[in-house]
A and B are shown apart, each in its own frame.
Chain A
Amino acid sequence: SQKIEQNSEALNIQEGKTATLTCNYTNYSPAYLQWYRQDPGRGPVFLLLIRENEKEKRKERLKVTFDTTLKQSLFHITASQPADSATYLCALVLYGQNFVFGPGTRLSVLP
Protein backbone atom coordinates (compact mmCIF):
# COMPACT_ATOMS: atom_id res chain seq x y z
CA SER A 1 0.00 0.00 0.00
CA GLN A 2 1.06 3.59 -0.46
CA LYS A 3 2.43 5.34 2.58
CA ILE A 4 4.27 8.53 3.52
CA GLU A 5 5.87 8.84 6.95
CA GLN A 6 7.85 11.43 8.83
CA ASN A 7 10.38 10.14 11.30
CA SER A 8 8.70 11.12 14.49
CA GLU A 9 5.69 13.02 15.62
CA ALA A 10 7.86 15.28 17.79
CA LEU A 11 11.52 16.17 17.94
CA ASN A 12 13.28 18.17 20.65
CA ILE A 13 16.75 19.60 20.09
CA GLN A 14 19.01 22.11 21.76
CA GLU A 15 19.46 25.58 20.30
CA GLY A 16 22.47 25.79 18.00
CA LYS A 17 22.34 22.12 17.00
CA THR A 18 21.31 20.76 13.60
CA ALA A 19 17.79 19.41 13.37
CA THR A 20 17.29 16.55 10.92
CA LEU A 21 13.78 15.57 9.87
CA THR A 22 13.03 12.53 7.74
CA CYS A 23 10.36 11.87 5.16
CA ASN A 24 9.99 8.29 3.89
CA TYR A 25 7.54 7.01 1.33
CA THR A 26 6.55 3.69 -0.21
CA ASN A 27 4.84 2.87 -3.49
CA TYR A 28 4.92 6.43 -4.77
CA SER A 29 6.98 7.84 -7.62
CA PRO A 30 7.08 11.57 -6.98
CA ALA A 31 8.25 14.07 -9.53
CA TYR A 32 9.06 16.60 -6.84
CA LEU A 33 9.11 16.89 -3.11
CA GLN A 34 8.28 20.00 -1.12
CA TRP A 35 8.82 20.96 2.51
CA TYR A 36 6.54 23.28 4.47
CA ARG A 37 6.50 24.84 7.89
CA GLN A 38 3.24 25.23 9.80
CA ASP A 39 2.72 27.23 12.98
CA PRO A 40 -0.31 26.62 15.22
CA GLY A 41 -3.48 28.18 13.85
CA ARG A 42 -1.88 29.15 10.56
CA GLY A 43 -1.60 27.75 7.06
CA PRO A 44 1.60 26.00 5.91
CA VAL A 45 4.44 28.10 4.54
CA PHE A 46 6.45 26.78 1.60
CA LEU A 47 10.15 26.33 2.32
CA LEU A 48 11.87 24.30 -0.39
CA LEU A 49 11.18 22.23 -3.50
CA ILE A 50 13.50 19.53 -4.80
CA ARG A 51 13.12 17.64 -8.08
CA GLU A 52 13.60 13.92 -8.48
CA ASN A 53 16.84 14.43 -10.41
CA GLU A 54 18.30 16.73 -7.78
CA LYS A 55 20.25 15.30 -4.86
CA GLU A 56 20.43 18.36 -2.66
CA LYS A 57 18.99 21.87 -2.33
CA ARG A 58 20.01 24.63 0.06
CA LYS A 59 18.41 27.86 1.23
CA GLU A 60 20.11 29.82 3.98
CA ARG A 61 20.18 27.50 7.04
CA LEU A 62 18.00 24.89 5.34
CA LYS A 63 19.16 21.88 3.36
CA VAL A 64 17.08 19.19 1.71
CA THR A 65 18.24 15.93 0.19
CA PHE A 66 16.22 13.60 -1.97
CA ASP A 67 17.16 9.96 -2.53
CA THR A 68 14.72 8.25 -4.91
CA THR A 69 16.46 4.90 -4.42
CA LEU A 70 15.95 4.96 -0.68
CA LYS A 71 12.63 6.75 -1.18
CA GLN A 72 13.63 9.27 1.43
CA SER A 73 14.10 12.99 1.89
CA LEU A 74 16.07 14.56 4.72
CA PHE A 75 15.43 18.12 5.87
CA HIS A 76 18.17 19.82 7.89
CA ILE A 77 18.05 23.07 9.85
CA THR A 78 21.53 24.14 10.91
CA ALA A 79 22.26 26.42 13.85
CA SER A 80 18.66 25.93 15.01
CA GLN A 81 16.90 28.67 16.93
CA PRO A 82 13.81 28.65 19.18
CA ALA A 83 12.03 30.54 16.35
CA ASP A 84 12.42 27.40 14.21
CA SER A 85 9.98 25.58 16.50
CA ALA A 86 7.01 24.54 14.37
CA THR A 87 5.52 21.55 12.58
CA TYR A 88 7.31 20.62 9.38
CA LEU A 89 5.47 18.84 6.58
CA CYS A 90 6.85 17.07 3.56
CA ALA A 91 4.71 16.77 0.45
CA LEU A 92 5.13 14.44 -2.51
CA VAL A 93 4.18 15.97 -5.84
CA LEU A 94 3.12 13.10 -8.03
CA TYR A 95 3.02 12.89 -11.81
CA GLY A 96 -0.54 13.86 -12.65
CA GLN A 97 -0.17 16.74 -10.21
CA ASN A 98 -1.64 15.20 -7.10
CA PHE A 99 -0.14 16.13 -3.77
CA VAL A 100 0.36 13.79 -0.81
CA PHE A 101 1.36 15.33 2.50
CA GLY A 102 3.15 13.60 5.33
CA PRO A 103 1.73 13.71 8.86
CA GLY A 104 4.32 16.27 9.98
CA THR A 105 7.01 16.46 12.64
CA ARG A 106 6.62 18.91 15.51
CA LEU A 107 10.04 20.41 16.15
CA SER A 108 10.86 22.12 19.44
CA VAL A 109 14.15 23.98 19.71
CA LEU A 110 15.04 24.42 23.36
CA PRO A 111 17.00 27.49 24.49
Chain B
Amino acid sequence: KAGVTQTPRYLIKTRGQQVTLSCSPISGHRSVSWYQQTPGQGLQFLFEYFSETQRNKGNFPGRFSGRQFSNSRSEMNVSTLELGDSALYLCASSPISRELDEQFFGPGTRLTVL
Protein backbone atom coordinates (compact mmCIF):
# COMPACT_ATOMS: atom_id res chain seq x y z
CA LYS B 1 0.00 0.00 0.00
CA ALA B 2 1.35 3.44 -0.85
CA GLY B 3 1.93 5.76 2.08
CA VAL B 4 0.66 9.26 2.67
CA THR B 5 1.95 11.62 0.02
CA GLN B 6 2.26 15.38 0.26
CA THR B 7 2.95 17.89 -2.45
CA PRO B 8 4.94 19.94 -2.87
CA ARG B 9 7.78 18.86 -0.59
CA TYR B 10 9.34 22.32 -0.48
CA LEU B 11 7.86 25.74 -1.03
CA ILE B 12 9.17 29.29 -0.79
CA LYS B 13 6.73 32.18 -0.61
CA THR B 14 6.81 35.82 0.39
CA ARG B 15 4.80 37.58 3.07
CA GLY B 16 1.25 38.36 2.06
CA GLN B 17 0.97 35.56 -0.48
CA GLN B 18 -1.24 32.54 -0.08
CA VAL B 19 -0.35 28.88 -0.40
CA THR B 20 -2.16 25.58 -0.95
CA LEU B 21 -0.70 22.30 0.21
CA SER B 22 -1.99 18.90 -0.87
CA CYS B 23 -2.24 15.55 0.88
CA SER B 24 -3.22 12.14 -0.48
CA PRO B 25 -4.03 9.71 2.32
CA ILE B 26 -3.50 5.99 2.30
CA SER B 27 -6.12 4.27 0.19
CA GLY B 28 -9.20 3.51 2.27
CA HIS B 29 -8.38 5.99 5.01
CA ARG B 30 -11.13 8.50 5.66
CA SER B 31 -9.62 10.69 8.36
CA VAL B 32 -7.02 13.28 7.39
CA SER B 33 -5.36 15.58 9.90
CA TRP B 34 -2.99 18.49 9.43
CA TYR B 35 -0.21 19.57 11.78
CA GLN B 36 2.33 22.37 11.91
CA GLN B 37 5.81 21.64 13.26
CA THR B 38 8.29 24.36 14.22
CA PRO B 39 11.42 24.25 16.39
CA GLY B 40 9.89 26.68 18.87
CA GLN B 41 6.32 25.38 19.18
CA GLY B 42 6.79 21.73 18.30
CA LEU B 43 4.03 19.76 16.65
CA GLN B 44 0.66 21.49 16.75
CA PHE B 45 -2.67 20.24 15.52
CA LEU B 46 -4.40 22.33 12.86
CA PHE B 47 -7.56 20.43 11.89
CA GLU B 48 -9.02 17.06 11.04
CA TYR B 49 -11.34 16.09 8.21
CA PHE B 50 -13.52 13.05 7.94
CA SER B 51 -15.86 12.31 5.04
CA GLU B 52 -15.41 15.85 3.67
CA THR B 53 -16.38 17.47 6.98
CA GLN B 54 -14.11 19.24 9.43
CA ARG B 55 -14.39 17.15 12.56
CA ASN B 56 -12.00 18.98 14.85
CA LYS B 57 -9.96 22.16 14.85
CA GLY B 58 -6.93 23.40 16.73
CA ASN B 59 -6.16 26.94 17.88
CA PHE B 60 -5.00 28.57 14.68
CA PRO B 61 -6.28 31.78 13.09
CA GLY B 62 -8.80 31.76 10.31
CA ARG B 63 -6.03 32.28 7.75
CA PHE B 64 -5.53 28.54 7.99
CA SER B 65 -8.24 26.56 6.28
CA GLY B 66 -8.67 23.18 4.72
CA ARG B 67 -10.99 20.93 2.86
CA GLN B 68 -11.39 17.30 1.97
CA PHE B 69 -12.64 15.86 -1.28
CA SER B 70 -14.85 12.85 -1.86
CA ASN B 71 -11.79 10.69 -2.58
CA SER B 72 -10.41 11.68 0.87
CA ARG B 73 -7.63 13.78 -0.60
CA SER B 74 -7.19 16.98 1.37
CA GLU B 75 -5.85 20.45 0.82
CA MET B 76 -4.73 23.04 3.30
CA ASN B 77 -4.65 26.73 2.50
CA VAL B 78 -2.87 29.55 4.29
CA SER B 79 -3.75 33.08 3.24
CA THR B 80 -1.83 36.30 3.88
CA LEU B 81 1.34 34.48 4.82
CA GLU B 82 3.43 35.71 7.73
CA LEU B 83 7.07 35.01 8.53
CA GLY B 84 5.95 32.90 11.48
CA ASP B 85 4.13 30.53 9.16
CA SER B 86 7.47 29.08 8.10
CA ALA B 87 7.25 25.49 9.24
CA LEU B 88 7.00 21.85 8.31
CA TYR B 89 3.37 21.04 7.54
CA LEU B 90 2.49 17.42 8.12
CA CYS B 91 -0.54 15.51 7.00
CA ALA B 92 -1.64 12.27 8.66
CA SER B 93 -4.30 9.77 7.74
CA SER B 94 -6.07 7.04 9.66
CA PRO B 95 -8.84 4.60 8.76
CA ILE B 96 -11.56 6.21 10.85
CA SER B 97 -10.35 7.64 14.11
CA ARG B 98 -6.93 9.17 14.79
CA GLU B 99 -7.54 8.70 18.51
CA LEU B 100 -7.88 4.95 18.38
CA ASP B 101 -6.36 4.07 15.05
CA GLU B 102 -2.76 4.40 14.12
CA GLN B 103 -2.05 7.71 12.38
CA PHE B 104 0.22 7.52 9.35
CA PHE B 105 2.15 10.68 8.67
CA GLY B 106 3.39 11.94 5.32
CA PRO B 107 6.89 13.35 4.79
CA GLY B 108 5.64 16.91 5.13
CA THR B 109 5.84 20.11 3.13
CA ARG B 110 8.58 22.50 4.19
CA LEU B 111 7.22 26.04 3.79
CA THR B 112 9.57 29.01 3.97
CA VAL B 113 8.09 32.50 4.08
CA LEU B 114 10.47 35.31 3.19
Interface residues, chain A, CB within 8 Å of chain B? Answer: 31-32, 34, 41-46, 49, 89, 91, 93, 96-104
A46 touches B43 (CB 8 A): no
Q: Does B99 lie within 8 Å of A45, measured CB to CB?
A: no
Sample (24) of A-B pairs whose CB atoms are under 8 Å apart? A31-B99, A32-B99, A32-B100, A34-B103, A42-B107, A43-B90, A43-B92, A43-B106, A43-B107, A43-B108, A44-B90, A45-B105, A46-B103, A46-B104, A49-B102, A89-B42, A89-B43, A91-B43, A93-B99, A97-B48, A99-B45, A101-B43, A103-B42, A104-B43
- A42 proximity list for chain B (CB < 8 A): 107-108
State A98–B104 Cα separation when bound (angstroms): 17
Contacts A43-B106, A98-B45 known; list 9 others, CB within 8 Å: A44-B43, A44-B90, A46-B103, A46-B104, A97-B98, A97-B99, A99-B33, A101-B35, A101-B43
Cα of A96 to Cα of B106 in the assembled complex, Å: 24
Q: Chain A contacts of B102 at CB under 8 A?
A: 46, 49
**45-75 of chain B: CB within 8 A of chain A:** 45, 48, 55-56, 58
Q: Total interface residues on B, using CB and 8 Å?
A: 23
**Chain A residue contacts of B56, Cβ below 8 A:** 96-98
A101 vs B44: C-alpha distance when bound (angstroms): 7
Contacts of B48 in A (CB 8 A): 97
1/0 per residue B83-101: CB within 8 Å of A? Answer: 0000000101000001110
- Top-4 shortest CB links A-B: A43-B105, A101-B43, A46-B102, A99-B45
* Residues of chain B with a CB closer than 8 A to A91's CB: 43
Q: How far is the CB of A80 from chain B (nearest CB, A)?
A: 23
Residues B98 and A99 in contact, CB atoms below 8 Å apart? yes
B1-47 contacts to A, CB under 8 A, are 4, 33, 35, 42-45
Among B35, B45, B55, B100, contact of A49 (Cβ-Cβ < 8 Å)? B100
The chain A residue sitting closest to B57, CB to CB, is: A98
Instruction: Provide the residues of chain A in CB contact with B103, threshold 8 Å.
Output: 34, 46
Residues of chain A contacted by B44 (CB below 8 angstroms): 101
Residues of A within 8 A of B45 (CB): 98-101
